[in-house]
C-alpha cells in the first residue's frame, strides 16, 4: 500500500533544497565546487584520510576522488604524505590554507543564516529551532 505524498512533504523538500542551495552559495572561494569543499571539510573535521577512505566517505570512485584531491593539492589546500606504516599508501591531509577556506566558508554561511534569523520574530525563530532539532533527530535515526 503506497501513501500519497502530502503537500507538507513537498513543501519541506522544496524549502530545504532552496535553503541548502543558498547556504552553499556562501563560500570563501567562489570557484570551489561542492565536492572539493566536502573533501576539505571531511579532512578538516576528521583528520587525514587515504584516497580510498575519502572516496568511500563521499560515495564516489577512487579516480573521481583522485581528480578532486589533485585540484585541491594544486591549489595548496591539501597535501599528500606517505603513510608511515605502509609506504604504498598515501595520506591526504589538510594544509593550513585549506583549513582557512573551511573556517571562512563556515563563517560566511553561518553569518548568512544569522542574518536570516535576525529578520524573524521570536516565534518564527523558535519554530525554526524546533524544526531543526526534529529534522536532525529524524535523519540521525
- Runs of H (alpha helix) within the chain: 7-25, 34-46, 51-58, 62-74, 96-118, 122-139
Q: Which pLDDT tens digit goes with each residue over 56-107?
A: 999 999 999 999 999 999 999 999 998 888 888 899 999 999 999 999 999 9
Sign of CA dihedral 130, 132, 138, 140: negative
Copy the grid coordinates of residue 138. Answer: 529524524
Question: For residue 85, what pLDDT is reported?
Answer: 86
What are the backbone dihedrals phi and psi of residue 30, each rounded to the nearest 5 degrees, phi first? -60, -35
Domain layout of the chain by residue ranges: 17-139
Which of these CATH numbers, 3.10.310.30, 3.20.20.70, 1.10.10.10, 1.10.287.610, describes 17-139?
A: 1.10.10.10
Q: What is the pLDDT of residues 26-70, one digit of tens each?
A: 999 989 999 999 999 999 999 999 999 999 999 999 999 999 999
The Cα–Cα gap between 52 and 57 comes to 9
Q: What is the pTM of this model?
A: 0.84
Amino acid at each position: 500500500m503506497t501513501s500519497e505524498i502530502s503537500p507538507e512533504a513537498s513543501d519541506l523538500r522544496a524549502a530545504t533544497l532552496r535553503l541548502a542551495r543558498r547556504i552553499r552559495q556562501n563560500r570563501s572561494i567562489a570557484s570551489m565546487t561542492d565536492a572539493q569543499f566536502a573533501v576539505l571539510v571531511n579532512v578538516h573535521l576528521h583528520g587525514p584520510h587515504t584516497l580510498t577512505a575519502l572516496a568511500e566517505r563521499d560515495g564516489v570512485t577512487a579516480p573521481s576522488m583522485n581528480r578532486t584531491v589533485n585540484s585541491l593539492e594544486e591549489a595548496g589546500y591539501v597535501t599528500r604524505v606517505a603513510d608511515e606504516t605502509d609506504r604504498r599508501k598515501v595520506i591526504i591531509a589538510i594544509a593550513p590554507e585549506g583549513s582557512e577556506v573551511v573556517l571562512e566558508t563556515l563563517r560566511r554561511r553561518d553569518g548568512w543564516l544569522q542574518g536570516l534569523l535576525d529578520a524573524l520574530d521570536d516565534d518564527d525563530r523558535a519554530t525554526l529551532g524546533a524544526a531543526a532539532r526534529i529534522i536532525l533527530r529524524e535523519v540521525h535515526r
